[in-house]
Amino acid sequence: MATSHAESTYRVIQWATGKVGRQAIRYFVENPAFDLVGVLVTNPDKVGKDAGGLADLPDTGVIATDDIDAIIALDADCVHFAPRGTLPDLDTVCRLLRSGKNVVTPMGPFFRTERTGEYLDTIEAACQAGGTSFHGSGLHPGYASDLLPLTLIRLMSRIERIHVYETVNFFAHPSNYIPALGFGRAPDDVLANPSRSPDTHHIYAQSMEMIAQTLGATITDITTTLELATATKDIAYPGGVVEAGTVAGQHYEWTAWADGAPLITFHGFWTMGDDIEPRFDCGDDSSYRVVIEGDPGLDLSLSRGIRSNDQDGNGALPWTGYIGANAIPDVCDAPPGVITHLELGIVRPRGLVRPASAPAVVR
């Protein structure tokens, strides 16, 4: 008799142990529906270390390797693929898919656009060759900017415009990336060389296209604007100081236009706390918000609960790992091919209802 979705255990490999990867290891180790069978690392200091230690857990017996061939040779149902970068290395992902392993990744691609179509065609061919599936699933894109609005539209009778807000307070959640993100630079310099590349809208275009296609709308253009705020005093953080008068707040807007009107706007608010001018109307900590103008208007805010069992540099980041990990059983059980949210529908996560384990500090 075939094993049902509810009975299966899924053998998983974690590829890369950054912030998302460590959170995923913790999820896989603690969730009885998963069996962690391999971990790929690039950092030579991590090679030969137990996966448990890399995620601040007791030893698991799974030893991290940098040997890609050894990972490919493993018997596993799925690879959670989370190295640094904007798109996964196509050859590597296709090798994994052809070797019979499904792939779930927060790197995308998430949906077919003129930029991702050819890439997804190659992935689709690898899926068919390996009898496997591929799913791009992250937080933004991958959840807050597509699945969440697509879920909310069931409550509407008419839609004028959709806004998705992402707020990250880097003062409350300091990160090594603060200088790289443009904080502390002169405003003219950041306006001339923005911290998000002019190509960034192509990443968000995938979520916008997913929404537009669902609504039967056609996106004709995507525009970008950037508004800056400056520090009203020196702002010290663990890695340095953002000096008074330099950039301490950034508000990006990416807007998808349809029929000559703005249909979808993604707002990205990054701040170094409250001592900035102008103060953005964006809430005071890391959060997401979806506002839909129409009939009836909707306003949904998403932030972490007070009993959250994690601590990392960005309050919402663990979600990125969970969104992918929770989809793995459905992706593994699906027919071969590229699977977006539109095919995946509501996922049926496994093993979430269980007693709590000790809190971990995720670096």
Ligand X SMILES: NC(=O)c1ccc[n+]([C@@H]2O[C@H](COP(=O)([O-])OP(=O)(O)OC[C@H]3O[C@@H](n4cnc5c(N)ncnc54)[C@H](OP(=O)(O)O)[C@@H]3O)[C@@H](O)[C@H]2O)c1
Binding site for ligand X (CB under 6 A): 16-21, 41-43, 46, 82-85, 106-107, 138-142, 320
Q: What's the min distance (Å) between Cβ of 188 and ligand X?
A: 29
Nearer to ligand X, 82 or 258 (CB): 82
Nearer to ligand X, 142 or 249 (CB): 142
Show Cβ contacts of residue 150 under 8 Å, excluding neighbours closer than 6 positions. 210, 211, 214, 341
Show Cβ contacts of residue 230 under 8 Å, excluding neighbours closer than 6 positions. 187, 244, 245, 246, 247, 248, 249, 276, 277
Q: What's the min distance (Å) between Cβ of 140 and ligand X?
A: 5
Q: What's the min distance (Å) between Cβ of 42 and ligand X?
A: 4
Q: What's the min distance (Å) between Cβ of 302 and ligand X?
A: 13
Residue nearest to ligand X (CB): 138
Q: What's the min distance (Å) between Cβ of 138 and ligand X?
A: 2
Cis bond upstream, residue 278 (ω within 30): yes
- C-alpha–C-alpha distance, residues 174 and 183, integer Å: 12
Nearer to ligand X, 149 or 258 (CB): 149
Show Cβ contacts of residue 12 under 8 Å, excluding neighbours closer than 6 positions. 28, 34, 35, 36, 37, 76, 77, 78, 79, 80, 328
- C-alpha–C-alpha distance, residues 348 and 346, integer Å: 7
Nearer to ligand X, 42 or 225 (CB): 42
Are the beta carbons of 105 and 202 closer than 8 angstroms? no
Phi then psi for residue 253, to 5 deg, are -130, 125
Nearer to ligand X, 16 or 229 (CB): 16
Residue reference for tokens 């998430």: 110
- What letter represents residue 201's amino acid? H
Q: What's the min distance (Å) between Cβ of 284 and ligand X?
A: 21
Nearer to ligand X, 83 or 182 (CB): 83
